[in-house]
Amino acid sequence: MRVAIVNDMPMAVEGLRRALLASGDNQVAWTAWNGAEAVKHCAEDVPDLILMDLIMPEMGGVEATEIIMQSTPCPILIVTASVGMNSGLVFEAMGKGAIDAISTPLFGGSEFSGTDESGANETLSRKVSMIEVLTQPIKSSRGLLKQAPLSGTTRGPKLVVIGSSSGGPEALAKVLKGLPEDFQAAVVIVQHVDAQFSEGLAHWLDQQTPLKVRLAKEGEKPRKGEVLLAGTDDHLVMNADGTLGYQAEPKNMPYRPSVDVFWHSLCDYQTANLTAVLLTGMGKDGAQGMLELKERGVHTIAQDEKSCAVFGMPKAAIDIDAAVEVLAIEEISGVLRKKYKSMLLSRSGEI
């Protein structure tokens, strides 16, 4: 891959350059010392991937990501040494279309050492390889997943499941902000984000909504009015007893955690209780799982192109007719409020 490096710290640039050249057939397309330079370079030469720092003079990574994704879009991976202090900026950049984020070997202010550099090389190599897969035509995940049951006997609360990737944090915040504190369904989210950022993302989303947001724990059941976020690089799944769990298989899925794997595990869930929502993101994750759910009678919603930061995952679902509705991000929470309020009133005999 032709990879660009945007960072104002020479030591970080050199470390990232070494890491890239040491793994696979990567080459450095160009380097930039701030976001303004990156925007200019990208307009002249769009790379396969940009490694984007957050805090830089003149123009930071969030603004540069937004401009690049609007004018000359390409995959952007946030690589920063300031994760702990600037997690909000990480999620803001991902909301503008960055695909994921990792920490540099300078994380915590330490200089490059053999151990730190080795660990950073491994993480960077894994992320670059994943992004390279995502930018290629992706085959259906149907063959990677075991046949789902058809009985629909798994019982549980009214449930909204949401899948998202690039642009997801901002889109998730907009949906969750529109849900009331007494929302009559549980919400479970699979967002493509490195495990080291998942807890920070849950905390950040918790500040955006009246609902309680936290990481999903092994063996627990979703509860109405609560939002659970997949919290590891393993796949979140729904077990036959209605509890959530994590599993490594299938290991050959390019997305970890995978929306398709989670939604496939829901195919035994009571369909009348379920709504599936697919938001902005690169690739096709969630499209096949959404089709399986729709074919079993689940109400499915895809975000429309105009309101997406990256119209990849929703487009893939729309292209195979997996979406019952295609809605702007601003409309989705209203549909969910109406549906679950109506279900509650119907159950109490008021309508």
Active site residues: 165, 192, 285
Distance from C-alpha of 128 to C-alpha of 3, rounded to nearest angstrom: 9
- Contact, 9 vs 111, CB < 8 A? no
- Close Cβ partners of 338 (under 8 Å, ≥ 6 residues apart): none
Token look-up 């994704």 returns 69
Token look-up 């997406």 returns 308
- Among 269, 226, 231, 254, smallest CA distance to 313 is for 254
The sign of the torsion formed by the CA atoms of 22, 24, 27, 32 equals negative
Distance from C-alpha of 308 to C-alpha of 315, rounded to nearest angstrom: 10
Greatest CA separation for the chain: 67
Please report which helix (H) or strand (E) contains residue 40, including its range. helix 35-44
Distance from C-alpha of 51 to C-alpha of 46, rounded to nearest angstrom: 13
